[in-house]
Chain A
Amino acid sequence: MINSSLQPKLNPMFRLQWEQVQECYVLLYPEGMVKLNGSAGEIMQLIDGNNKVVDIINTLNDKFPDAGDLTEDIYEFLSAAGEKKWLYYEQ
């Protein structure tokens, strides 16, 4: 289970980058690409191996004060991203 003190790390198989032409963040991997939507991009760019889940939640809640509490959404995304093996957690 994900908890707020875990530090998600990007699976080294993937590279996250901003694509100007597509106006979105993408995850690149061998011969493939995943286009991320706006909120997925916001979360993924905070996954730097240092930020804890709680830091990501606080940062995004501060950044988007009008969006309501984002905690649920962030947990949901992180668990989906974990299943897709974009992220991993060191135990």
Chain B
Amino acid sequence: MNNETQTKVGPPLWLLAELTYDCPLHCPYCSNPTDLGDTKDELNTQQWLDVFTQARAMGAVQLGFSGGEPLLRKDLEQMVKHSRELGFYTNLITSGIGLTEKRIAKLKVAGLDHIQISFQGADPEMNDIIAGRGNAFDQKFKMAQSVKEQGYPMVLNFVISKQNISQVEDIMRLSCLLKADYVELATAQYYGWAFANRDHLLPSQKQMVDAEKIVNEFRDKQNGKGPKFFFITPDYFEDRPKACMNGWGSTFLTIAPDGSALPCHSAKMLPLKFPNVKNKSISHIWQQDFAFNRFRGDSWMPEPCQSCDEKEKDFGGCRCQAFMMTGNMDATDPVCSKSPDHHLVQEAIELAKNPKEPIFERVNQRNFKGEDIVRIKL
């Protein structure tokens, strides 16, 4: 990549720390890789603290602790304290399982700024069948109440799929009851487990249109009060792709549990060799690494993107989506109606009308191989 592009690289404003892939839940929409790697390769406390110090010095300002389930790390409080002292805005992104009132309080003392809890549905029946664990809903509900009682800003995240899309209105009521500040009604992103389960998850266009109408009507009745709702639709129904990660290597830096540095949490699937913080500095990774420079600028772009006047807007779309659907990570995102592969998206929408394979529940087993998939029927 030429020097001109390199000097234009701004700071990695958003740092996502995936502390562990371990998780007590089994969501079929999970975007973690289906091969979860080995826990013994996970970064230790000191390595994480170093990552935060280096990234902050480069100008990173938002820090998300996620996973898997970040609460499984006993040193979470220590990491929160260190990063808050560095000036990060600290976000905990959790399933709520493993949270207690006491831990919420301890995290507050450590300086945690905000807690995001994910829900799988509007009631225990729906929630717990998707999460693959009994009592998950009750636990999440209680913890969400406690998060607000203890004075945190709270975001609720509902992953919307074919399974729960009919509950949108109940979900919005639940969010009001729990006094959420922001609510993401986000359709699953089809990476990792979610890609394997796409036919079961992807709502139909009619379901999307109906849900959007309900969301808008509900918003109109809010009169500026209550949670702010974000309805995030799958780009499968659009004719332009999303500006994935605000541009490759422009804003987001994800560190995976084993220390791999990625421009986005799903990038590991790409046939690229990603650097690791165990043996490279963050500034070297961000400014010099081949994989991070690979899709910066526009010289890598194929046609029709290369000569398209919208390339500054969407950067040719998502590299992971292009790779998953076409097998070529340089291809124009097939979501774009100008893409020669656009029919693949049309076909996916068709296939989702009648799933042929049973749904896969996420298996929390190390070194998972395809044959071990547990098939359940919802």
Contact = CB atoms under 8 A, between A and B. Distances in A.
A30 B181 contact: yes
Interface centre among A20, A29, A31 (most CB of B within 10 A): A31
B114 A30 contact: yes
B322 to A, nearest CB: 26
A26 interface: yes
B59 A31 contact: no
A21 B58 CA distance: 7
Contact of B62 (A12, A13, A21, A31): A31
Contacts of A13: 153, 181
A31 B87 contact: no
Interface residues of B, number: 19
B172 interface: no
Contact of A31 (B11, B58, B155): B155
B129 to A, nearest CB: 28
Interface in A10-42: 12-13, 15, 17, 19-22, 26, 28-33
A68 B11 CA distance: 36
A15 B61 contact: no
B62 A28 contact: yes
A20 B114 CA distance: 23
Given A15-B113, A22-B11, A33-B13, A28 B182 contact: no
A33 B59 contact: no
B61 A30 contact: no
B64 interface: yes
A21 B87 CA distance: 12
A19 B89 contact: no
Contacts of B83: none
A54 to B, nearest CB: 28
A89 B61 CA distance: 28
A71 B212 CA distance: 43
B91 interface: yes
Contact of B153 (A17, A26, A29): A29
B7 to A, nearest CB: 15
Nearest to A32: B62
Contact of A26 (B61, B154, B182): B61
Nearest to B56: A21
B116 interface: yes
A33 B64 contact: no
Interface centre among B13, B64, B89, B155 (most CB of A within 10 A): B89
Nearest to A18: B87
Given A29-B153, A30-B114, 6 more contacts: A17-B87, A28-B62, A29-B114, A31-B64, A33-B13, A33-B61
26 contacts: A13-B153, A17-B87, A19-B59, A19-B61, A20-B59, A21-B58, A21-B59, A22-B11, A26-B61, A28-B61, A28-B62, A28-B113, A29-B89, A29-B153, A30-B91, A30-B114, A30-B153, A30-B154, A30-B182, A31-B62, A31-B91, A31-B114, A31-B116, A33-B61, A33-B62, A33-B89
Closest 10 CB pairs of A and B: A21-B59, A28-B89, A30-B114, A13-B153, A30-B155, A30-B153, A21-B11, A31-B91, A30-B182, A33-B61
Interface of B: 11, 13, 58-59, 61-62, 64, 87, 89, 91, 113-114, 116, 151, 153-155, 181-182
